[in-house]
Amino acid sequence: MKTSGRTVTCFIELESVISRGVLIAMDPNLEDIVRLEEVKLSTPGAIESRNSGTYELVSGLSLSQEDLERIVSQLLSMLLEKSGISAGEIDLLSAYSDAFARFEDPREEKELVQKILESCRTQLSGNPVLLEPEKSTVAANEPKSRMVATGANVILKSREGLNVKPNIFLDLSTCFSGLAYTSNIDHNVEVLISGLGATILDALARGHPDVNSQYNSTLEISDPSGATYEEESSRLASQVADLIRIRRVPSGTKKVGRVPVDVGESYNEKIKLIGCDVGKNGSGLEKITEIGRRASSYGTATIQRVIDLSFARIISKMIRILYEEGIIETDNALCVSGREDFSKSKHKEVLNLLTEMGFEKIAERTVFVKNPACYYGIVRA
């Protein structure tokens, strides 16, 4: 039973590496938005079906309906226990998942999200409103791109003294999501980003002995110690960048980085679709892992350095393509986000590389945020 006038939104995300639940509260005057609680669990560790599920995550791991419901149940239980609020106090539910690798049409993403939402409502008392997912007509990860932009603006608005209004949003979670506006006034989307994101960095990490599974990620690497071999790190990161292909998605393409896309629809909507891939639908990721093995031979600090440098090269390479396509200007503002907080090293390398490439004004207007998609529901309320 509700005891205050605030609105509470629950966001559930089932992503290849991390599944998370977040509670966001907004006061009646729409002036104060607070993240009440966030819980996370390892998606690979929570899945029992492995290779026999109905759905398939971008990582290649199968997900059954039973897995989906169990993960949702675990996240909701953890959220309610840690936050101390009752199930009946949750007003709104929003969700997202990248378990769309088996889909042939990006529109199927909406059905997946609706199943997650229905599972949430079934397990909660009361009657929370299910927020309809954003459309996914151009790419299956299109909803994530729109949620990221909406949520990032909420986060940035709360930062005192910040006078930056990005029109470029890049999110490096398992998939590479993002968009660019023509302006900050009308918010007409001119470009959508799709394809491989942190999956590339995870492939690098799998070259390290601590990351001993095809489904593990950069998160399994322990705190780096020992010497960092800068020359080797730079050389290996350049090799990673050479394997990454970022370009306008050609007509006839059905998937980019295992993400279902509809290029014809992108033309109909006058949206440029930019994809990121390694080989075809990730077929070249093993080459990335081999580079990770070579980096790991120099020690944990060096492979972590290669990961940080590769992260910066992915972001800067995307910015260069967006500029060459005539989508952005050299004085635009950029917001970078992902599944976790980025290290100071990643921040520094992105800004340094943008400056070296002649995008110093963009570097000056670059901000970093964590998991902005969770704020989407409270804005839609």
Q: Which of 133, 158, 182 is the last residue of a domain?
A: 133
Q: What is the pTM of this model?
A: 0.94
Residues of the chain with pLDDT > 90: what percent?
A: 75
If we measure between CA atoms, which residue out of 159, 152, 301 comes closest to residue 232?
301
- pLDDT, tens digit, for every residue of 90-144? 999 999 999 999 999 999 999 999 999 999 999 887 788 999 877 899 999 999 9
pLDDT at 164: 87
Of 30-34, 160-164, 338-342, minimum mean pLDDT range: 30-34
Q: Which of 108, 133, 158 is the last residue of a domain?
A: 133
What is the full DSSP assignment across 346-380?
HHHHHHHHHHHTT-HHHHHTEEEEE-GGGGHHHHH
Of 207-221, 323-337, 338-352, minimum mean pLDDT range: 207-221
Q: Are residues 111 and 260 in the same domain?
A: no
Q: Are residues 166 and 308 in the same domain?
A: yes
Q: Are residues 225 and 358 in the same domain?
A: yes
What is the full DSSP assignment across 240-277?
HHHHEEEEEPPTT--EETTEEB-HHHHHHTT-EEEEEE
Q: Are residues 119 and 165 in the same domain?
A: no
Q: Are residues 69 and 183 in the same domain?
A: no
Residues of the chain with pLDDT > 70: what percent?
A: 95
Q: Are residues 78 and 158 in the same domain?
A: no
Q: Are residues 30 and 158 in the same domain?
A: no
Which of residues 273 and 182 earns the better pLDDT score? 273
With respect to residue 380, please indicate whether it lies within any of the assigned structural domains. Answer: no
pLDDT at 1: 42
Q: Are residues 187 and 336 in the same domain?
A: yes
Instruction: Determine the 3-state secondary structure of 224 from DSSP.
Output: coil
Residue 365 near residue 164, CB atoms below 8 Å: yes
Q: Are residues 122 and 165 in the same domain?
A: no
User: CATH code at 274?
Assistant: 3.30.420
With respect to residue 141, please indicate whether it lies within any of the assigned structural domains. Answer: no
Q: Round to whole Å and give the CA distance between 377 and 94.
A: 6
Q: Are residues 129 and 192 in the same domain?
A: no
Say how many domains are in the chain. 2
With respect to residue 379, please indicate whether it lies within any of the assigned structural domains. Answer: no
With respect to residue 205, please indicate whether it lies within any of the assigned structural domains. Answer: yes
DSSP-derived pairing of the beta strands 272-278 and 244-248: antiparallel
Residue 37's domain comprises: 7-133
- pLDDT, tens digit, for every residue of 33-66? 889 999 999 999 898 866 667 899 998 889 999 9
- pLDDT, tens digit, for every residue of 270-308? 999 999 999 999 999 999 999 999 999 999 999 999 999
Q: From residue 329, give the alpha-carbon distance in Å to each of 168, 319, 361, 362.
A: 10, 10, 10, 9
For residue 4, pLDDT over 90 is answered with no
Q: Are residues 120 and 240 in the same domain?
A: no
Mean pLDDT of 297-321: 96
Of 70-74, 207-211, 253-257, minimum mean pLDDT range: 207-211
Q: Which of 133, 155, 190 is the last residue of a domain?
A: 133
For residue 177, pLDDT over 60 is answered with yes
Instruction: Determine the 3-state secondary structure of 144 from DSSP.
Output: helix
Q: Are residues 206 and 289 in the same domain?
A: yes
Residue 268 burial (C-beta neighbours within 10 Å; 0-12, 13-18, 19+): exposed
Which of residues 185 and 298 earns the better pLDDT score? 298
With respect to residue 343, please indicate whether it lies within any of the assigned structural domains. Answer: yes
- pLDDT, tens digit, for every residue of 194-246? 999 999 999 999 999 888 677 889 888 877 778 899 999 999 999 999 999 99
With respect to residue 142, please indicate whether it lies within any of the assigned structural domains. Answer: no
With respect to residue 1, please indicate whether it lies within any of the assigned structural domains. Answer: no
User: CATH code at 81?
Assistant: 3.30.420.40
Mean pLDDT of 21-29: 87
User: How does residue 378 score in pLDDT terms, banded at 50, 70 and 90?
Assistant: confident
* Mean of the per-residue pLDDT values of the chain: 92
With respect to residue 140, please indicate whether it lies within any of the assigned structural domains. Answer: no
